[in-house]
Amino acid sequence: MNAGTVKIAHLSDLHLSGWSDRRQISALDRLLAHFVAEGFDHIVISGDLSNSASPADWKIVRDRLEKHGLYHCEKVTVVAGNHDLINLEEEMRFYNVLNPFAGLKMMFFQKRLREFCNFFSELITDGNDTVPSFPFIKVLNFPSVSVAIAALNSVYPWFPAENPLGARGEISIGQLHALANPDVLASLKDCFVIGLCHHAYKVYGTDALIDQAFDWTMELKNREKFLEMMKLMHVDIVLHGHFHRFQTYAVEGIPFVNGGSFRYDVRRYGRIEIAGKGRFTQKFELLAEK
Ligand SMILES: [Fe+2]
Ligand SMILES: [Fe+2]
């Protein structure tokens, strides 16, 4: 590690699909071993760990992190993606047969989100009595700088008309209120602040009319509210995934990083080096071929 800098690795959209996909799991092992060897201080995974909302895939991530001695709040932060919480086939079947009511659907969704938080509780809380939930803020104190990670859930339940692919996102009002608390905002003062969620601020459109018709099904519905919150928190950078593109862009002076997809490029990852409040570099690295 360069003296005085904090090194963060950013991975996204693993879309694991069970133990049978040995190629992808060994690629994950290789990348995690690289992070350890390179002395990364922290790893951020911005959602879609599983491809089909299977806790068995979450367990693969947990096992791999444990194997490399990384399964700890200080070492790794994860947020949920739509593919972690929503199984489209199941949703449709469930909707048709049993559950046409929005309130019930929201209740089941919240239960699912709690399952994710409980599963990864060691990465959300540091073992105190706090119930693991979103949003959460993690402050990591390094000799040169304190880094605060403000993690929000942006996954929104599947609804047949409003969220037909389960891929549309929203930051709940409750989360926005929680973060707007003056004590919370004060705790971020002097920290290098990283905003984190699964969905993109940017609407990834194409020129093809047929694609434009589908743009909204992937969007973060209340992205302007999200941006307002990022400004209020004076974030230095926002990390996300969801659209499988390795890309950086800026919105009103705030740098955003789309972490792309590990599933589609198992050697590429984002590297952020933080030198102090407001001082950092970001680039995408490509791990050498074996
Ligand atoms: Fe994804
Ligand atoms: Fe996604």
Domain ranges of the chain: 6-286
Which pLDDT belongs to residue 147? Answer: 98
**Ligand 1 center–CA 241 separation, angstroms:** 7
Q: Which residues lie below 8 Å from residue 71, measured CB to CB, with a gap of 6+?
A: 62, 65, 122, 123
pLDDT tens figures, 198-236: 999 998 766 665 555 567 788 899 999 999 999 999 999
CA–centroid distance, residue 15 to ligand 2 (Å)? 9
- Given pLDDT bands bounded at 50, 70 and 90, which one contains residue 1? very low
Mean pLDDT for 165-170 is 88
Residue 212 CA to ligand 1 centre (angstroms):
19
Confidence class for position 83, pLDDT limits 50, 70, 90: very high
Q: Look up the pTM and report it.
A: 0.94
1 CA to centre of ligand 1 in angstroms? 31
Average pLDDT over all residues of the chain: 91
49: left (phi over 0), alpha (psi -120 to 50) or beta: alpha
Residues at Cβ < 5 Å from ligand 2 ion = 48, 81-82, 242
Tell which residue, 6, 133, 26, has the closest CA to residue 79. Answer: 133
pLDDT of residue 160: 75
**Ligand 2 center from residue 138 Cα (angstroms):** 23
Nearest Cα to Cα of residue 199 among 229, 170, 179, 224 = 170
Contact predicate 135/152, CB 8 Å: yes
Tell me what the mean pLDDT of segment 116-121 comes to: 97
31-79 pLDDT, tens digit each: 999 999 999 999 999 999 999 999 999 999 999 999 999 999 999 999 9
Strand 6-11 to 42-45 pairing: parallel
Residue 164's pLDDT band, with cuts at 50, 70 and 90, is confident
Q: Which two tokens stand for residue 225?
A: 């509210």
CATH number of this structure's domain 6-286:
3.60.21.10
Q: Cα(85) to centroid of ligand 2, in Å? A: 10
